[in-house]
Amino acid sequence: MKPRLVPFGDAAYRLPLPPGANGRAVLEALRAVPRVVDAVVTERHALFTFDPQGGTPDGLEELVELAEQAASVPAPALAVRQHMVTVRYDGLDLEEVARATGMSSADVAARHASRTYVVAAVGFLPGFAYLRELDAKLVLPRRSTPRSRIPARSVAIAGLYTGIYPFASPGGWNIIATADAFEAFDVRSGATMSLGDRVLFTRGPS
Amino acid sequence: MIEIVSIAGFATIQDGGRPGHMHEGVPKGGALAPELMSRANVAVRNAPEEAAVEVVGAMSFVARVPLTVATDDGVARALACNDRFSTANGPEVRMRYIAVRGGIDVPAVLGGRGTLVVARLGGHEGRPLRRGDVLRVRDARPRDTSLPAFPDLVAPVRVIVGPDVDRFDRATIEAFFAASFTIDAGSDRVGIRLAGPRFVREQEADAPSAPMVSGAIQIPPSGQPIVLGPDHPTTGGYPVIATVVRAHLGPLAARPIGASVRFRL
CATH number at residue A92: 2.40.100.10
Q: Which residue has the higher pLDDT, A147 or B205?
A: A147
Q: Which residue has the higher pLDDT, B113 or B141?
A: B113
B151 in a domain, yes or no?
A: no
**pLDDT-based confidence at A63, cuts 50/70/90?**
confident
Q: What is the mean pLDDT of residues B214-231?
A: 95
Q: Residue A104's domain spans which residues?
A: 82-203
pLDDT of residue A76: 65
Q: Does residue A125 sit in the same domain as residue A31?
A: no
Q: Does residue A115 sit in the same domain as residue A199?
A: yes
User: Which DSSP category does B32 fall into?
Assistant: S
Q: Does residue B77 sit in the same domain as residue B175?
A: no
Average pLDDT, chain A: 90
Considering only CB atoms, which chain B residues are within 8 Å of A40? 22-23, 211-212, 234-235
Contacts with A, B 45-104, CB within 8 Å: none
Question: Are A9 and B213 a contacting pair at CB < 8 A?
Answer: yes
Q: A5: nearest CA in chain B?
A: B163
- Number of structural domains found in chain A: 2
Q: Does residue A62 sit in the same domain as residue A149?
A: no
B234 in a domain, yes or no?
A: yes
- Number of structural domains found in chain B: 2
Considering only CB atoms, which chain A residues are within 8 Å of B163? 6-8, 14
Considering only CB atoms, which chain B residues are within 8 Å of A37? 19-20
Q: What is the mean pLDDT of residues A59-87?
A: 82
A-B C-beta contacts closer than 8 Å: 142
B146 in a domain, yes or no?
A: no
Quick check: B162 contacting A, CB < 8 Å?
yes
Question: Are B119 and A44 a contacting pair at CB < 8 A?
Answer: no
- Condensed to tens digits (0 to 9), the pLDDT of residues B31-46 reads 999 999 999 999 999 9
Q: Does residue B10 sit in the same domain as residue B130?
A: yes
B142 in a domain, yes or no?
A: no
Considering only CB atoms, which chain B residues are within 8 Å of A188? 109
Average pLDDT, chain B: 95
**pLDDT-based confidence at B135, cuts 50/70/90?**
very high
The CATH number linked to A52 is 3.30.1360.40
SS (H, E, C) A19-82: CCCCHHHHHHHHHCCCCCCEEEECCCEEEEECCHHHCCCCCHHHHHHHHHHHHCCCHHHCCCCE
The CATH number linked to B185 is 2.40.100.10
B22 in a domain, yes or no?
A: yes
Q: Does residue A94 sit in the same domain as residue A184?
A: yes
Q: Does residue A88 sit in the same domain as residue A190?
A: yes
Question: Are A121 and B209 a contacting pair at CB < 8 A?
Answer: yes
pLDDT at A55 over 80: no
Best residue of B24, B120, B158, B227 to probe chain A, by most A CBs closer than 10 Å: B24
**What is the rounded distance in angstroms from the CA atom of residue B33 to the CA atom of residue B247?**
10
Q: Does residue B121 sit in the same domain as residue B20?
A: yes
B183-214 burial, b at 16+ Cβ within 10 Å, e below that, comes to bbeebebbbbbbbbbebebeeeeeebbbbbbb
How many contiguous H segments (helices) and E segments (strands) does chain B have?
A: 3, 17
Asked whether A42 and A129 are in contact (CB, 8 A), the reply is no
**pLDDT-based confidence at B204, cuts 50/70/90?**
low
Q: Please say which residue of A77, A93, A122 terminates a domain.
A: A77
B147 in a domain, yes or no?
A: no
Q: A27: nearest CA in chain B?
A: B23
Percent of chain A with pLDDT over 70: 95
Q: Does residue B215 sit in the same domain as residue B174?
A: yes
Considering only CB atoms, which chain B residues are within 8 Å of A43? 208
Q: Does residue A90 sit in the same domain as residue A169?
A: yes
With CA atoms as reference, report the closest residue to A194 among A81, A112, A97.
A81
Q: Does residue A88 sit in the same domain as residue A16?
A: no
Question: Are A38 and B28 a contacting pair at CB < 8 A?
Answer: yes
Q: Does residue B126 sit in the same domain as residue B216?
A: no
A1 in a domain, yes or no?
A: no
Q: Does residue A58 sit in the same domain as residue A131?
A: no
Q: Does residue B19 sit in the same domain as residue B70?
A: yes
Question: Are B234 and A52 a contacting pair at CB < 8 A?
Answer: no
pLDDT of residue B126: 96
Query: What single-letter amino acid sits at B84?
Result: R
Q: Does residue B7 sit in the same domain as residue B126?
A: yes
Q: Please say which residue of A42, A77, A112 terminates a domain.
A: A77
Q: Does residue B92 sit in the same domain as residue B34?
A: yes
- Condensed to tens digits (0 to 9), the pLDDT of residues A115-138 reads 899 999 999 999 999 999 999 999
pLDDT at B215 over 50: yes
Q: B241: nearest CA in chain A?
A: A8
Q: Please say which residue of A17, A50, A77 terminates a domain.
A: A77
pLDDT of residue B205: 64
Asked whether B56 and B11 are in contact (CB, 8 A), the reply is yes
**What is the rounded distance in angstroms from the CA atom of residue B162 to the CA atom of residue B11?**
33
Other residues' Cβ atoms within 10 Å of the Cβ of residue A96: 16
Q: Residue B213's domain spans which residues?
A: 157-264
A34 in a domain, yes or no?
A: yes
Q: Does residue B51 sit in the same domain as residue B124?
A: yes
B65 in a domain, yes or no?
A: yes
User: Which DSSP category does B198 fall into?
Assistant: -
Q: Does residue A90 sit in the same domain as residue A55?
A: no
Best residue of A4, A5, A6, A10 to probe chain B, by most B CBs closer than 10 Å: A10
For residue B126, is it left (φ>0), alpha (ψ between -120 and 50) or beta? left
- Alpha helices by DSSP H, chain B: 34-43, 170-178, 246-253
Considering only CB atoms, which chain A residues are within 8 Å of B232? none
Quick check: B235 contacting A, CB < 8 Å?
yes
With CA atoms as reference, report the closest residue to B122 among B112, B132, B130.
B112
pLDDT of residue A142: 87
Q: Does residue A115 sit in the same domain as residue A67?
A: no
pTM for this predicted structure: 0.94
Q: Residue A126: in which H helix or E strand, if any?
A: none
**Strand runs labelled E in B101-238:** 134-135, 157-161, 181-183, 191-195, 210-211, 216-218, 226-228, 235-236
- Condensed to tens digits (0 to 9), the pLDDT of residues A9-26 reads 999 999 999 888 899 999
Q: Does residue A152 sit in the same domain as residue A93?
A: yes
Q: Does residue B180 sit in the same domain as residue B121?
A: no
The Cα of B34 is separated from the nearest Cα of chain A by a number of Å equal to: 14
pLDDT of residue A1: 40
Quick check: B240 contacting A, CB < 8 Å?
yes
Q: Does residue B186 sit in the same domain as residue B237?
A: yes
Q: Does residue A102 sit in the same domain as residue A173?
A: yes
pLDDT of residue A79: 77
Q: Which residues pair with A46 in a beta bridge?
A: A15, A41
Q: What is the mean pLDDT of residues A3-7?
A: 82
pLDDT of residue A61: 80
pLDDT at A7 over 60: yes
B169 in a domain, yes or no?
A: yes
pLDDT of residue A77: 54
pLDDT of residue B206: 63
Q: What is the mean pLDDT of residues B171-176?
A: 95
A170 in a domain, yes or no?
A: yes
